[in-house]
């Protein structure tokens, strides 16, 4: 038990400094060696204190209170007032648990309000793809959203959620205990902790399954707007409101770590092998039996007779789980010069991990998009591949890239930079905040907690979670309230801007198709 708690303590510190580093404002970095020694001593004393607590069967805490003191305490002259507050997670007495059923967790009530009168640091503008938040909400712009409309989303619901005064109440209809539900709720709780007092009251219905479900064609002027339903993906025939998927906080079932530590590993993975020294083919590894496009992709695999420049591998989760997932380590899949992305049943969680590798992605066209997708531009961030011509297109792309190494590397860098710079965890939270805030502005009623809903809080999700879930929660937990404003959301696109954007996208895809055709014709002439 001691060992476990020590590990938890250490993990917590790492996660915390990770977050500080990623913001580039780590006050500890500026400390002299002398203070650093003091800090280490303080941390050690903190740890001893923790061990003392544990051996006395006292409340055990993942909070920063126990771990080590607030960096400010170790410094005599803080440069400016520190507006951050530590975020704590306190689990009840562990020993009691083994003897009887786990004690019911009582949520502690509202998070503390932000320091009054304090002005947070200003922030830059949000990435451009945030402007699609306005587009997602357009169907309700004129009408607003009534409670009746929200309730009409219930047939699609896995979670019905009400947030009042920073407290979260839910009714789960399906998938209770699945990562997608649990980590979606975890993400909302982190958001509320991170921006105390900022998240408005709201009521929404969430669909945590794979497919988007609100069909645009079923709604018109006489039926009224579609039911507002939050989901992780949509296509051009559905009106689901996009929201970041659960995997940003981790996906224990498939061993996918939370985004922050994974991206750090990814960066290291990118630097491991120089692009020119990578295997000069296109790599894909996954579960082939998730939709027709994937099964079809397997046909592009290399055989004795044909080489389409594709190297396709089937993921065997049973085998991998026995081997500890070493071979499926996402951060270490950047050893080929090209990566292939292909949809699953709908969007695939794998997309961001594939595209964060700085080998260019050969992106098999899909109708499904997730929230960040709208910031990606074909032939700048990825190489577009038509669904009905996959093998030929992959062969051409790889040959082209090998003949144009500079352009190919620039494309790989553009997509990897996009994820490292525009889809950071800070952006994920800001996207959630803006999306919820804009949605809440449309609500035509004051949400209240319906009968029979259960309050969830960090403690109720984490304290009795399985070991791996708990580990990912701890890793993805926000440690401090933000001292920075969320990024500034730009206004909706004008119709001209929107049209121009869509045209550029279309032209870029056409350009690549033209090259492919020309190459095919040249090939034909030679034969």
Ligand X SMILES: *[C@@H]1O[C@H](CO)[C@@H](O)[C@H](O)[C@H]1NC(C)=O
Residues making contact with ligand X (CB under 6 A): 57-59, 93, 95-96, 218, 220, 222-223, 298, 301-302, 312-314
Maximum distance among all Cα pairs of the chain, rounded to whole angstroms = 83
Q: How far is the CB of 340 from ligand X (least distance, A)?
A: 12
3-state secondary structure of 231: strand
CB 95 within 8 A of CB 60: no
CB 167 within 8 A of CB 234: no
CB 373 within 8 A of CB 431: no
CB 222 within 8 A of CB 214: no
Residue identified by tokens 């279309």 is 506
CB closer to ligand X, 291 vs 412:
291
| Residue 304 buriedness (CB in 10 A; 0-12 / 13-18 / 19+) | exposed
Give alpha helix (H) positions in 404-466.
Answer: 405-422, 425-442, 458-462
3-state secondary structure of 9: helix
**In which region does residue 283 sit, left (phi positive, over 0), alpha (psi from -120 to 50) or beta (all else)?**
beta
Q: How far is the CB of 316 from ligand X (least distance, A)?
A: 10
Q: Please report which helix (H) or strand (E) contains residue 204, including its range.
A: strand 202-206
CB closer to ligand X, 220 vs 276:
220
Closest CA to 425 of 264, 275, 309, 271: 264
Cα 350 to Cα 254, 286, 450, distances in angstroms? 11, 9, 37
Q: Please report which helix (H) or strand (E) contains residue 22, including its range.
A: helix 2-23
| Residue 461 buriedness (CB in 10 A; 0-12 / 13-18 / 19+) | buried
CB atoms within 10 A of CB 6: 14
State which residue has the least CB distance to ligand X.
93
Q: How far is the CB of 284 from ligand X (least distance, A)?
A: 9
State both tokens at 437: 């805030």
State both tokens at 282: 């296109």
CB closer to ligand X, 77 vs 222:
222
CB closer to ligand X, 21 vs 307:
307
Q: How far is the CB of 402 from ligand X (least distance, A)?
A: 19
Q: How far is the CB of 166 from ligand X (least distance, A)?
A: 27
CB closer to ligand X, 37 vs 58:
58
Q: How far is the CB of 70 from ligand X (least distance, A)?
A: 24
Q: How far is the CB of 59 from ligand X (least distance, A)?
A: 5
CB closer to ligand X, 67 vs 226:
226
Q: How far is the CB of 308 from ligand X (least distance, A)?
A: 11
> Could you tell me which residues are beta bridge partners of residue 383?
362
Q: How far is the CB of 283 from ligand X (least distance, A)?
A: 11
Cα 78 to Cα 28, 41, 74, 83, 87, distances in angstroms? 11, 20, 9, 11, 20
3-state secondary structure of 78: coil
Q: How far is the CB of 89 from ligand X (least distance, A)?
A: 16
Q: Indicate the angle between helix axes 405-422 and 259-272, nearest 10 degrees.
A: 160
Closest CA to 13 of 52, 74, 53, 62: 62
Q: How far is the CB of 23 from ligand X (least distance, A)?
A: 35
State both tokens at 36: 């650093």
Q: How far is the CB of 69 from ligand X (least distance, A)?
A: 23
């Amino acid at each position: 038990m001691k060992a476990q708690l020590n590990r938890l303590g250490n993990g917590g510190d790492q996660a915390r400094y990770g977050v500080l580093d990623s913001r580039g404002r780590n006050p500890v970095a500026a400390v002299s060696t002398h203070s650093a020694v003091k800090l280490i001593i303080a941390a050690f004393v903190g740890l001893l204190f923790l061990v003392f607590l544990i051996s006395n069967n006292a409340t055990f805490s993942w909070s920063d209170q126990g771990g080590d003191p607030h960096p400010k305490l170790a410094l005599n002259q803080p440069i400016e007032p520190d507006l951050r507050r530590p975020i704590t997670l306190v689990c009840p007495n562990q020993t009691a648990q083994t003897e009887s059923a786990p004690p019911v967790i009582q949520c502690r009530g509202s998070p503390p309000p932000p320091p009054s009168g304090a002005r947070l640091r200003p922030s830059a503008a949000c990435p451009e793809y945030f402007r699609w938040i306005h587009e997602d909400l357009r169907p309700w712009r004129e009408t607003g959203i009534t409670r009746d409309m929200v309730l009409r989303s219930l047939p699609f619901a896995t979670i019905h959620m009400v947030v009042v005064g920073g407290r979260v109440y839910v009714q789960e209809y399906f998938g209770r205990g699945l990562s997608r539900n649990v980590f979606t709720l975890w993400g909302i709780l982190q958001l509320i902790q991170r921006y105390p007092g900022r998240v408005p009251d709201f009521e929404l219905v969430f669909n945590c399954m794979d497919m988007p479900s609100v069909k645009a064609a079923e709604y018109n002027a006489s039926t009224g707007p579609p039911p507002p339903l939050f989901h992780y993906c949509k296509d051009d025939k559905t009106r689901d409101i996009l929201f970041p998927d659960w995997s940003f906080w981790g996906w224990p079932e498939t061993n996918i770590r939370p985004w922050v530590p994974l991206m750090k590993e990814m960066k290291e993975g990118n630097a491991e092998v120089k692009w020119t020294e990578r295997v000069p083919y296109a790599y894909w590894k996954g579960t082939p039996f998730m939709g027709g496009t994937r099964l079809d992709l397997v046909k592009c695999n290399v055989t004795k007779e044909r080489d389409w420049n594709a190297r396709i591998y089937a993921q065997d989760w049973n085998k991998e789980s026995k081997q500890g997932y070493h071979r499926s380590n996402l951060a270490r899949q950047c050893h080929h010069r090209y990566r292939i992305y292909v949809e699953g049943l709908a969007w695939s969680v794998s997309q961001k991990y594939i595209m964060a590798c700085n080998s260019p992605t050969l992106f098999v066209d899909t109708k499904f998009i997730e929230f960040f997708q709208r910031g990606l531009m074909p032939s700048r961030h990825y190489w577009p591949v038509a669904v009905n011509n996959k093998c030929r297109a992959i062969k051409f792309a790889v040959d082209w890239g090998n003949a144009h190494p500079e352009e190919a590397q620039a494309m790989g860098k553009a997509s990897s930079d996009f994820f490292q710079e525009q889809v950071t965890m800070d952006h994920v939270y800001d996207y959630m905040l803006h999306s919820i805030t804009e949605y809440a502005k449309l609500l035509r009623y004051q949400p209240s907690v319906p009968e029979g809903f259960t309050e969830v809080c960090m403690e109720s999700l984490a304290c009795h979670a399985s070991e791996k879930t708990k580990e990912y929660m701890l890793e993805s937990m926000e440690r401090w309230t933000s001292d920075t404003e969320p990024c500034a959301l730009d206004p909706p696109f004008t119709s001209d801007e929107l049209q121009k954007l869509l045209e550029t996208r279309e032209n870029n895809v056409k350009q690549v198709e033209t090259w492919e055709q020309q190459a095919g014709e040249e090939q034909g002439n030679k034969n």
